[in-house]
């Protein structure tokens, strides 16, 4: 395809459409129970950081909830690994309780998407726990889950993009 044809196709793609598919404030007042929530992966506070990392790798998750007696006492995330663990001598002996984020902000099923999204933005959280009325962890909500929710509102615009991006990067980022 010639460059001019590609530009015409991209122009049509971005200028076509009904314009009626806008997210509005009502969309974000929905409860987070309407999102695709994931069961939490849990670990005890006395277990080692090595155990936590293995659990995260096995379950392909970015965090584990630290629980004791069925109640959440903390969260251990990829960020904790980078900021509190990296460079420590022996992760085989280092306990999760020594490097976890204790008493993280938690949310309930009825909290609105806007409320949780605001807390994630202000707090810089990528993962937040969802608990029941007794404080028992029932789910984890991630930024990716919220992005998936938004994409569901614009499937044609996101999923029908050209197979190759207009701008190409020389190498993939390290994430």
Of the candidates 44, 68, 137, the one whose C-alpha atom is nearest the C-alpha of residue 55 is 44
Domain extent listing, the chain? 22-159
86-106: pLDDT as tens digits: 877 787 888 999 999 999 999
Which residues, at least 6 apart from 30, have a Cβ–Cβ distance to it below 8 Å? 112, 113
Are the CB atoms for 72 and 129 separated by under 8 Å?
yes
- Give the torsion through C-alpha atoms of 145, 149, 152, 156, to 10 deg: -80
In the prediction, which pLDDT does 147 show? 87
Percent of the chain with pLDDT over 70: 75
The class level of CATH for 22-159 reads: alpha beta
- Summarised one tens digit per residue, pLDDT across range 142-164 is 999 988 888 887 777 766 666 66
**What's the confidence (pLDDT) of residue 46?**
96
pTM of the predicted structure, to 2 decimals: 0.75
Q: What is the DSSP letter of 112?
A: B
Phi, psi of 55 (to 5 degrees): -60, -45
pLDDT value, residue 135: 85
């Amino acid at each position: 395809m010639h460059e001019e044809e590609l530009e015409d196709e991209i122009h049509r793609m971005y200028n076509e459409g009904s314009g009626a598919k806008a997210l509005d404030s009502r969309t974000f007042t929905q409860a987070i129970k309407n999102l695709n929530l994931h069961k939490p992966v849990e670990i005890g506070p006395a277990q080692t950081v090595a155990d936590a990392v293995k659990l995260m790798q096995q379950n392909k998750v970015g965090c584990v909830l630290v629980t004791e007696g069925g109640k959440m006492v903390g969260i251990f995330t990829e960020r904790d690994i980078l900021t509190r663990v990296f460079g420590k001598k022996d992760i085989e002996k280092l306990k999760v309780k020594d490097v976890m984020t204790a008493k993280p902000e938690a949310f309930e099923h009825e909290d609105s998407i806007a409320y949780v999204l605001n807390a994630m933005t202000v707090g810089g959280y990528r993962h937040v726990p969802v608990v029941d009325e007794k404080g028992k962890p029932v789910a984890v909500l991630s930024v990716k889950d919220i992005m998936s929710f938004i994409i569901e509102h614009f499937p044609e615009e996101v999923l029908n993009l050209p197979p190759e991006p207009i701008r190409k990067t020389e190498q993939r980022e390290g994430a």
